[in-house]
Structure 1
């Protein structure tokens, strides 16, 4: 974002507005980064470049003791001076309504219509919206939310208008976020919704190229300079046992005969166990790092240095920990007190420690930590072996800088714990409560006597929602995430994963402690995020017209976002989709029956009899492949069902093709009279055909970000044994009814029609499948083909819609339907689909 800002200023943009999040901590973090990384100044010397640009607020207005309100820090005299001198104006403001209102008034007052009319060149505005999914999303046209409208009013002057307020004013709005789900799903009437371009920034890693563009690029500096995201934390070391970066514990659920009190005790015991393991990991990691050359005083807070440079050299880098207990502020303080209890107690007796009402929630007992180390030294020293396991697993990465961690080092590590780590660790609560801190402190501390290392060089942070935005925890090594929520939202929980970042130089010491179900959610979020980035990157290589919003995915147990209402649309049509659509128009009905007639002329068809010798229908002796069945379904025609390609349900197939690099279209409806869907996608023959084509493409080994097999939703498709397992084949069959078909061609082949009731509209059947097969004496219609191909075991539909096992053949069962008041036969199709096909859940607008 700052790089784009720099290029825009170099190109002569007149006004740069940075919307720096909704929280004070994020606003100040962005402001300080702007000064250091773009302006090349500090809060103390920024005034020295005032003849080159105007920055509002001035550093003194927000970075020192008293923060000025927007009515004071947006100084009109300074703005008018900058305009007269032709200097760019840079406004860095939080995305809060009062700040946005004040900014609009400020700009209206100084950039007047008379000033604009007198200009030769248009006045150019670039607005960069950081964390654009936070407050900038408009969920509906009737929403009373004002923030997005106040943003557009910065250039329009009116919250109800989107165009610039003068012909000689040009405005560009660029939204930045790591989680754009809500931005893509929001109503398009929001002027801030993505319209003209979409771009995904690549991250430095071990692989990647510019052409074809990929989600990462090869970083020549090696792992030290890698961005460590979900691929590192969730995939690379997931089979490394104790060396895995994610340590998950099963969340205790009630056992047979267990009382509620016993379940509560087990959960409490696990909570203390996870906290204990995480704290030991954090402390031992800090001690090992303190033994590296030059790290002797990296955590010593009481030492004063004569110059900032000498303090910076001594500091080396922070080593921090995060505890995320819940969204409630009181839970943050309680968790901090738990750390205090842990540091003061004997192992296993943490809950017995009584703290007074005036207990300092940030005071960790140094003596208590030393006692714990003595009493459970085996548990502490075990972390050396775990760190070494991680180091070995990561040693194959380019330019891995990690030295071996030997158990023989334990005496030195133990001494470092007692003398360098325990006396210097700090405990901090970060939230909006007045009794907590507003943000971490990673800058040098200056006093009258000199300079000290940053206050948070060795800190344990307890926080909640303040970490669900872009607040950075430098040097984060250990994370304990025990937050629970009824219906998780992927975008919010993705933002909470503060352990992602540039951790390459100390990666073996990084750990995430959480529950197994939460870790599975994190992995799904990562897979869906990877799919979103992959599609956007693929679209960047296409024409401008094709560079539209990407498909947003969600999951069965989580939503993509809680900011915008969305519907869940699964990719797979399920185990036994029914095409219950029927056509009564004589010409189209005959067309569909012709498909059945022609099908009977293709291949050898034999009687389909059950174990009692009763004929249940006809079956083709040889099965057909996925694409052949897809083409067959695509030939069906209906006057009331011809889905438009502009419908979101249809457009998702374009997204899949773009994501997977499929050249030919997957979804090919007739397009004779495009209209709204006449049935849901799981009963649409053209959608089912598109699914079969997609499955055929994927079994040949193509990568499929965000997809997973229907029977193993926890396993990404790319890593599953579905890849290369071969495509399933489908048997084609006709279901027999009580009387011969009316069409003489079908009757001549012995095809019997079934009777079914239609819905009130007459456009579809109320039910399709007939014989259910309850009781086990015979197979139901869904599995009637098992009489022929004899595959075992035969599924049962007892009590639910069972899937055919992976590797079993599928079924397409054609039903010729007759009604006394109709002159012609109708055709419907029921399918039995085996497990193992691709699946995911798309999030589409309601």
Structure 2
């Protein structure tokens, strides 16, 4: 039988679709899988288009390129690794490949992209670039590769700036020694060691004249250390000015940014010392960060500061990586189909009760002597750590580290309180559980419940029964160590002496950069008011090979929601930077917009001094209400009355009630003033982004677009369903309309019923008028075909709305929700069950809405606007509350203490040398 003839026209259509997705930075392989899932009958055409797109890109990479470069550097790929000639890269490449397998290809490609952002070492340069990775995702592997390749390309001095703590510097030094230096000790000259930060005492900077030797220093971001490094370099200025220097700034958004008030002429100390490092003739500065909010908000016009003006490289998310999206889910981005995004992530987050949170958080200024006290959630987290560690031993991972993180406060006194309580609890467990036969039943219940919520089969792992795991519990209990790691403790989290099972209590020293090996259990209640601070404190991000089913995180619901929101913010920033990359924009042209949050700042105010008031446009977007005060009868009744008032006003003004394409009541041609009056009366839950600043922005945007006659009028529709099995509601229309079902997330706090998603993409078309069932069926078929042809929903739906309703028409949709809405079954395709389709056991995420009255939700669909000024200003970030301000002061005090301790060490080093 001959092969089916390819439909060449269809192939070209798919090539165009692949190209559109690539320009948005979307994964080519993932796009292919999506197309194959949706259009199985076109498999041959999709596969052919996929191969043509790969060829068009010129390499197997999933995007056009990985970096945005300065205009004069575009296309100038001066560096290419050569395994037959290079000296430093080949042995490191072998080590990485043995460790990570096929991932070496992505690492090789992205590190080459970074080196190409530099200039050849023969040229005078002061290059500055940014590499955007993910928290705990292998940034160190990337910059090790960059160092090796830069050393092959002629850079002679490498300075690696780590975070502000000595344990992070030591961890980085150990990794560099092990993978980069030890295989070629005769070629590297170390200026620092695991035991000693930079001192410059035993080395003459004139040695840098040796072209055949490479020098490397791993230095804390401590102003005294950096000042000594600069003095050492200046002591041989004539030689140093001819020495190519590469500065790698790990965690570059921490301490490196100038935070001194712009009213002062002095820069902050560490920023000033870093800029002095870059004063020499041939220097390249590469900033690494997973949270680059502060980096991209530096004023690009300040050529003497650290804005990445030469290149920005975005690293792909590694395969098997547990990031914020996997753990917390996220909302769909603009233009992204809701049913292609997992809104909840894996079912690994456990909520700590408000009572326990209050007990374990510090008392603050009002109660400084308050003793912190843990509760059931802390005990459950400790039990889970013991059991997960035991399960890993059953699976043959007994030779691996296993860790638990407890992060509740910055205050060292609180850490000691917790140490005493947890040590007491562990002692009790050791005395009670001397063999598998006397393990309490609550352990079995917890194990079996958790295994049901995140089955091992989800990750192609073999399930572990309670009996199999329990055999190892007594020895895990016996071997588990409890340490406090903070700025004043003498203990440190140390993985260098063989496999450890450790529970670590800490604050700042455990909150950035440092890897907690084999982290399976986290108990986290520390609040932070800045995006970057909060994301960096999440040490649970990373790789969990062989135990992907075991990580668990206990945290308050507030933080769970914040991390979900940050996952969306993070994805938006990456997608926006990727668009610049695909369009080959110069970094100086990049003006990254970062979504504001009602409860958090993007980064500290001091780091945002260069940020200017941004603007936001709602053009083409859909907005929705997702939280409701389910127990507040007055609040719910007021919203119902607001809808009835709107209906009455439309009827009084002579607007007819029509029938939409989906059988719903629709009013057309409603003036914007009526919509703004309605938004004034309708209450949006205050604990949401839409309920705070964006509600004002919405009305400001509507007013501005209406005054300029770009928003001509509104249609108002009422979302219904075909049957009335859930009951009906009287809103003053011609007839009562059927109620909808929307259940809430199981973790919703009382008075904040969170339904996560109210609208679907196709709801935008609910205001298209069709009077007969025949016309409605024909329209629905047209929608299905347009979506199938486009391979997505958002764009074709907007185009169909413009085609059938007209351009410049807004759409307000009213959603009447039954008060007692129960979760739908996993087979449902409604927004109510969107959480049940992405991973096993999702139905456990939802529970009955259980409101005291029916709930009225709203969705707003804005038309597209081509006007360049169709935007309104962002609101300024809120002030952090007093509790968070106190924590910032405590953090600053801890850093000061660390610096003083380090300066004392430096003085003793000098004294020892003199004597």
TM-score by length of 2: 0.51
1:406 maps to 465
Match of 1:214 in 2: none
User: How many residues align structurally?
Assistant: 539
Give how far 1:97 is off: 0.8
Contact residue 256 and residue 270 of structure 2 kept, 8 A: yes
The whole-number CA distance in structure 2 between the counterparts of 1:791 and 1:12 is 65
Equivalent residue for 2:149? Answer: 7
Return the offset for 1:523.
Answer: 1.0
Looking at structure 1, the residues matched to 522 and 424 of structure 2 have their Cα atoms a distance apart, in angstroms, of: 19
For residues 182-235 of structure 1, give each alpha carbon's deviation from its aligned partner in whole angstroms, at most 9, with x where no partner exists. 112234436102322222211222xxxxxxxxxxxxxxxxxxxx1111222123
Counterpart contact for 1:240–1:390, Cα < 8 Å: no
> Retained in 2: the 8 A contact 1:56–1:90?
yes
Q: Distance in 1 between matches of 2:650 and 2:290?
A: 61
In the alignment, what sits opposite 2:491? 437
Could you give the per-residue CA deviations for residues 325-352 of structure 1, whole angstroms, max 9, x where no partner exists? 111111111111120232345xxxxxxx
Equivalent residue, structure 2, for 1:684: 704
1:16–1:89 CA contact under 8 A, matched in 2:
yes
Deviations 1:716-752 (A, max 9, x none): 7xx6633222257599xxxxxxxxxxxxxxxxxxxxx
Alignment correspondent of 1:513: 554
Cα pair distance change 1:55/1:509, threshold 3 Å: same
Report 1:764-779 matches (<5 A). Answer: none
- Greater relative CO, 1 or 2 (CA 8 Å, sep 6+): 2
Q: How does 1:530-545 map to 2 (within 5 A)?
A: 530-545=571-586
Q: SS at the partner of 1:528?
A: helix
Gap regions ≥5 residues in structure 1: 117-121, 157-163, 206-225, 299-315, 346-364, 446-452, 577-608, 634-676, 696-710, 732-784, 794-802, 812-830, 832-837
Deviation, structure 1 residue 792: 8.9
Q: Tell me which of 390, 397, 406 is aligned to 1:287.
A: 390
- CA offset at residue 527 of structure 1? 1.5
Matches within 5 A, 1:530-609: 530-545=571-586, 548-562=590-604, 563-565=606-608
Distance in structure 2 (CA, Å) of the matches to 1:12 and 1:327? 44
| CA deviation string 1:605-637 (max 9, x = no partner) | xxxx99999997686999999xx999x99xxxx
Match of 1:24 among 151, 158, 166: 166
Counterpart among 136, 150, 172 of residue 284 in structure 2 = 172
On the 8 A contact 1:343/1:369 being kept in 2, the answer is no
Larger radius of gyration: 1
Provide closer, same or farther for how the CA distance between residues 617 and 504 of structure 1 changes in structure 2, counting only shifts above 3 A. Answer: same
Distance 1:569 1:175 in 2: 27
Q: CA deviation at 1:15?
A: 2.3
CA distance in 1, matches of 2:550, 2:875: 36
Please give the alpha-carbon distance, in whole angstroms, between the structure 2 residues aligned to 1:186 and 1:500. Answer: 27
Q: For the residues of structure 2 that align with 1:536 and 1:614, how far apart are their CA atoms?
A: 44
- What SS class does the counterpart of residue 521 from structure 2 fall into? strand
1:366 matched to which residue of 2? 430
Kindly state the Cα deviation for residue 396 of structure 1 after the two structures are TM-superposed: 4.2
**C-alpha distance in structure 2 between counterparts of 1:53 and 1:254, whole Å:** 50
Residues 1:152 and 2:152 aligned together: no
Instruction: Tell me if structure 1 keeps the 8 A contact 2:816–2:857.
Output: no
Contact 1:247–1:514 (Cα < 8 Å) also in 2: yes
Residues 1:575 and 1:200: Cα distance change in structure 2 (over 3 Å) = closer
Query: How big is each residue's C-alpha offset from its partner over 1:650-675, in whole Å with a ceiling of 9 and x where there is no partner?
Result: xxxxxxxxxxxxxxxxxxxxxxxxxx
* Alignment partner, residue 356 of structure 1: none
Asked whether the equivalents of residues 188 and 213 of structure 2 are also in contact (C-alpha less than 8 Å), the reply is yes
Distance in 2 between residues matched to 1:614 and 1:380, nearest whole Å: 61
Equivalent positions of 1:349-388 (< 5 A) are 366-367=430-431, 370=434, 377-388=440-451
Q: CA deviation at 1:155?
A: 2.7
Residue 250 of structure 2: aligned partner: 130
Matched with 2:218 is 92
CA contact under 8 A between 1:524 and 1:714: conserved in structure 2? no
Pick closer, same or farther for the CA change 1:459–1:840 going to 2, 3 Å.
farther
Give 2:480's aligned residue.
Answer: 425
Q: Give the counterpart of 1:203 among 306, 317, 320.
A: 317
SS at 1:525 equivalent = helix
> In structure 2, how many angstroms separate the alpha carbons of the residues matched to 1:611 and 1:281?
54
Cα distance change, pair 683–25 in 1 and its aligned pair in 2 (3 A): farther
Q: Label 1:845 to 1:540 Cα distance change in 2 as closer, same or farther (>3 A).
A: farther
* Mapped partners of 2:473, 2:522: distance in 1: 20
Per-residue CA deviation, residues 464-518 of structure 1 (Å, 9 max, x unaligned), is: 1112210000000000002235xx2111010011011111321212100111111
1:55 maps to 2:190 = yes
Question: What is the rounded CA distance, in whole Å, between the counterparts of 2:357 and 2:147 in structure 1?
Answer: 55
- Contact 1:553/1:842 (8 A) holds in 2: no
Report deviation, 1:40.
3.5
Indicate how the Cα distance of structure 1 residues 429 and 682 shifts in structure 2: closer, same or farther if over 3 A, else same: farther
Task: Pick the aligned partner of 1:324 from 395, 399, 407.
Answer: 407
Residue 475 of structure 1 is aligned with which of 497, 500, 518?
Answer: 518
Structure 1 residue 370 displacement after superposition? 4.8
Q: 1:134 to 1:681 in 2, by over 3 A?
A: farther
Aligned counterpart, 1:722: 760
Partner of 1:499: 540
Once residues 613 and 480 of structure 1 are traced to their aligned partners in structure 2, the CA distance between those partners, rounded to angstroms, is: 53
Contact 1:427 1:460 in 2 (8 A): yes
CA distance in 2, matches of 1:790, 1:465: 47
Measured after TM superposition, the shift of residue 550 of structure 1 is 2.2
Evaluate the alpha carbon distance shift between residue 39 and residue 806 of structure 1 in structure 2; reply closer, same or farther with a 3 A threshold. same
Point out the structure with the larger helix share. 2
Give the whole-Å Cα distance in 2 for the aligned partners of 1:285 and 1:150: 45
Cα distance in 1 between the residues matched to 2:873 and 2:567: 13
The match for 1:395 among 439, 457, 460 is 457
SS in 2 for 1:172: strand
Q: Contact 2:758–2:859 at 8 Å: present in 1 too?
A: no
User: Mean alpha-carbon deviation: is it higher for 243-252 or for 175-184?
Assistant: 243-252
406 and 613 in structure 1: CA distance in 2 versus 1, 3 angstrom threshold: closer
CA distance in 1, matches of 2:326, 2:561: 15
Which one is further off, 270-279 or 26-35?
270-279
**Could you say what secondary structure the match of 2:410 adopts?**
coil
1:613 and 1:532 map into 2 onto residues whose CA distance is 42
User: Secondary structure of 1:233's partner?
Assistant: helix
Cα distance change on mapping 1:127 and 1:726 into 2, 3 Å: same
After superposition, residues 634-649 of structure 1 pair within 5 angstroms as none
* CA distance in 1 between partners of 2:357 and 2:416 (Å): 29
Instruction: Report the Cα distance in structure 2 between the residues aligned to 1:201 and 1:319, rounded to whole angstroms.
Output: 28
3-state DSSP of counterpart to 1:556: coil
Aligned to 2:238: 112
Cα distance, 1:551 vs. partner? 1.7
TM-aligned CA deviation for residue 533 of structure 1:
1.4
Cα distance in 2 between the residues matched to 1:572 and 1:516: 29
Which blocks of at least 5 consecutive residues in structure 2 are unaligned?
1-142, 331-340, 624-644, 662-667, 674-696, 716-750, 770-810, 818-854, 864-869, 880-915
What is the root-mean-square deviation of aligned Cα atoms in Å? 5.2
* Conserved 8 A contact 1:194-1:549: no
**Deviation of the 1:272 alpha carbon:** 1.0
Structure 1 residues 55 and 806, CA, compared in 2 at 3 Å: closer, same or farther?
same
Structure 2 distance, partners of 1:270, 1:239, is: 33
Kindly indicate whether residue 123 of structure 2 is the aligned counterpart of residue 70 of structure 1. no
Deviations 1:736-792 (A, max 9, x none): xxxxxxxxxxxxxxxxxxxxxxxxxxxxxxxxxxxxxxxxxxxxxxxxx99xx9999
Residue pair 1:135, 1:148 contacting (<8 A) in 2 also: yes
Deviation at 1:380? 0.7
